[in-house]
């Protein structure tokens, strides 16, 4: 094992402003990458900290713009939040307002999930609707219907979701069936039920590892949640929760992204800490494509160079199916596989926009409805590309690592939202990648040995 050297000790995720990434592709990666804590756990655990009037000491928190924004949402509610390296301290002993700020909630869907914990703590919550985003409409009807089943009055007026418990009492335990196993709705309702009167049962619950992580966090504060990680979750309400010291699970999507980075550049890399059980569909698909992956010990994966990449079929599904968040990175990989692949996006309605940008790099992808037909090509060639959302951006960076010549990636604000210093981690693995402040008009170099560079940020 070749442990990674430590990354720069930035306090917050780097600011994207007008920066772009320059990537000189075609260079294999090598070495060890340290996987950060899970974004989707961190955000919802921060919302869960509102349930507790004691100190929440949260470890292994990834350095992300989204975490920073969620911290701002909590601060706006009057909660004490401090962040040092990968540790967050939250004290919600006093929540001074039940109204979350519009500008922040609309930028960060996960902050809406705090409606469950605010309502449980205060008996009232006013949350701006998060709105749609680049990948689809993203409604919150399941969150609302579940809270109503628990006795809340919920009205949506002027773009705000106003919820309160009539009579000022507590929410009541209920039996709730989710039409679709929504991650966010499961988390909202699980948090709300934690301090409710009586027992709540959530059927057809989301089974994502981050749901189980939130439940473990709540249980460590004294909640009584059983079955998280399965499709039936039972929550017995308790009067209050106590202080906690908790460490977030490793990010399975960041892990998957680095696995694809290794696969697309035909590299040997080592990744830890990871929880291989959270990556079953991702590892299975990579092996099917021809990428050797070895589990080295309980929390470490070694990826070896593939001889050939083979085409495959992928359908995104709720966990434990193939994760929609890995769809774009796999599309980048399959552009270089031998034969025709089909990718069916069945979780979100508009999550194939990266296909046209990958085509700018020389890929051959046709999109029809929610399916992408990917005809493998022998090589990609660098070009300017634009990221439209978080995972689409990751896919374009990965494609850039494999493409010959220079790829200039715009859309760093998407990457910084959800990846903990992705460019720096890739740099440590030997990628020729540079964050620069303005869009340059560089000479193309094919070997990356002497890249033309403007001001670094």
Binding site for ligand UD1 (CB under 6 A): 40, 43, 109-110, 136, 138-143, 180, 182-185, 206, 210, 324-325, 347-348
What is the nearest approach in angstroms of ligand UD1 to the Cβ of residue 325? 5
Q: Do 63 and 87 meet the contact criterion of CB atoms below 8 Å apart? A: no
Task: Give, in order, the Cα–Cα distances in Å from 85 to each of 73, 74, 159.
Answer: 19, 18, 36
**Cα 37 → chain centroid:** 10
Of 265, 303, 261, 269, the C-alpha closest to 283 is 303
Q: Taking phi first (over 0 means left), then psi (-120 to 50 degrees means alpha), and beta for anything else, what does residue 17 get?
A: left
Residue tagged active-site, from 52, 133, 161, 300: 133
133 noted as active-site residue: yes
Q: Which is nearer to ligand UD1, 156 or 300 (CB)?
A: 156
What is the nearest approach in angstroms of ligand UD1 to the Cβ of residue 17? 24
Q: Which is nearer to ligand UD1, 19 or 40 (CB)?
A: 40
In which residue are the tokens 């919550």 written? Answer: 125
CB-based contacts of 12, cutoff 8 Å, min separation 6: 63, 65, 68, 83
Q: Taking phi first (over 0 means left), then psi (-120 to 50 degrees means alpha), and beta for anything else, what does residue 194 get?
A: alpha
Adjacent-strand bridge partners of 405: 25
What is the nearest approach in angstroms of ligand UD1 to the Cβ of residue 29? 25
What is the nearest approach in angstroms of ligand UD1 to the Cβ of residue 356? 21
Q: Which is nearer to ligand UD1, 131 or 151 (CB)?
A: 131
Burial class (CB in 10 A: 0-12, 13-18, 19+), 57: middle
What is the nearest approach in angstroms of ligand UD1 to the Cβ of residue 323? 6
At residue 133, what are phi and psi to the nearest 5 degrees?
-155, -175
Q: Which is nearer to ligand UD1, 149 or 427 (CB)?
A: 149
> In a 3-state reduction of DSSP, which class is residue 159?
coil
Q: Which is nearer to ligand UD1, 138 or 432 (CB)?
A: 138
Q: Please give the full DSSP string across 191-238, using - where no structure is assigned.
A: HHHHTSBSEEEEES----HHHHHHHHHHHHTT-EEE-BTBSEEEEE--
Q: Which is nearer to ligand UD1, 216 or 324 (CB)?
A: 324
Q: Do 155 and 230 meet the contact criterion of CB atoms below 8 Å apart? A: no
What is the nearest approach in angstroms of ligand UD1 to the Cβ of residue 437? 29
Give the Cα separation of 259 and 304 in Å (integer): 10
Q: Which is nearer to ligand UD1, 106 or 359 (CB)?
A: 106
* End-to-end CA separation in angstroms for the chain: 31
Residue nearest to ligand UD1 (CB): 184
In which residue are the tokens 């592709």 written? Answer: 25
Give the Cα separation of 308 and 311 in Å (integer): 10
What is the nearest approach in angstroms of ligand UD1 to the Cβ of residue 268? 29
Q: Which is nearer to ligand UD1, 112 or 409 (CB)?
A: 112
What is the nearest approach in angstroms of ligand UD1 to the Cβ of residue 41? 8
Task: Give, in order, the Cα–Cα distances in Å from 301 to each of 51, 82, 83, 225, 384.
Answer: 36, 33, 30, 31, 32
Just list the catalytic residues: 133
């Amino acid at each position: 094992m070749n442990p990674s050297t430590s990354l720069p000790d930035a306090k917050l995720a780097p600011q994207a402003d007008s920066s772009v990434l320059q990537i000189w592709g075609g260079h294999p990666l090598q070495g060890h990458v340290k996987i950060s804590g899970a974004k989707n756990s961190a955000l919802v655990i921060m919302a869960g900290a509102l349930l507790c009037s004691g100190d929440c000491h949260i470890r292994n928190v990834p350095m992300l713009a989204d975490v920073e924004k969620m911290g701002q949402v909590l601060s706006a509610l009057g909660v004490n939040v401090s962040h040092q390296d990968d540790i967050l301290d939250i004290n919600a002993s006093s929540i001074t307002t039940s109204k979350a700020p519009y500008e922040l909630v609309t930028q960060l869907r996960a902050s809406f999930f705090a409606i469950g914990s605010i309502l449980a703590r205060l008996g009232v919550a006013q949350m701006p609707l998060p709105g749609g985003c680049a990948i689809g409409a993203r409604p919150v009807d399941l969150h609302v219907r579940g809270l109503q089943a628990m006795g809340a009055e919920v009205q949506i007026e002027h773009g705000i979701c106003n919820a309160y418990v009539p009579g000022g009492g507590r929410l009541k335990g209920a039996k709730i069936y989710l039409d679709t196993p929504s991650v966010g709705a499961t988390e909202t309702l699980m948090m709300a039920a934690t301090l409710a009167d009586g027992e709540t049962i959530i059927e057809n619950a989301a089974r994502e590892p981050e749901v189980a992580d939130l439940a473990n966090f709540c249980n460590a504060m004294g909640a009584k949640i059983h079955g998280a990680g399965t499709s039936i979750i039972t929550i017995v309400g308790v009067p209050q929760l106590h202080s906690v010291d908790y460490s977030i699970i490793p990010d399975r999507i960041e892990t998957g992204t680095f696995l694809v980075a290794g696969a697309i550049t035909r590299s040997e890399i080592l990744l830890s800490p990871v929880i291989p059980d959270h990556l079953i569909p991702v590892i299975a698909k990579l092996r099917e494509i021809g990428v050797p992956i070895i589990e080295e010990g309980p929390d470490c994966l070694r990826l070896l160079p593939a001889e050939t990449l083979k085409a495959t079929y992928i359908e995104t599904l709720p966990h434990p199916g193939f994760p929609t968040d890995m769809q774009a990175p796999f599309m980048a990989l399959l552009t270089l596989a031998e034969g025709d692949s089909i990718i069916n996006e069945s979780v979100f309605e508009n999550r194939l926009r990266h296909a046209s940008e990958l085509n700018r790099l020389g890929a051959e992808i046709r999109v029809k409805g929610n399916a992408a037909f990917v005809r493998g090509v022998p090589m990609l060639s660098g070009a300017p590309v634009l990221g439209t959302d978080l995972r689409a951006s990751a896919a374009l960076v990965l494609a850039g690592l494999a493409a010959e010549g220079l790829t200039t990636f715009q859309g760093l604000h998407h990457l910084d939202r959800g990846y903990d210093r992705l460019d720096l981690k890739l740099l440590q693995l030997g990628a020729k990648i540079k964050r620069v402040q303005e869009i340059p008009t560089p000479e193309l170099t094919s070997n990356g040995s002497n890249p033309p560079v403007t001001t670094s940020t």
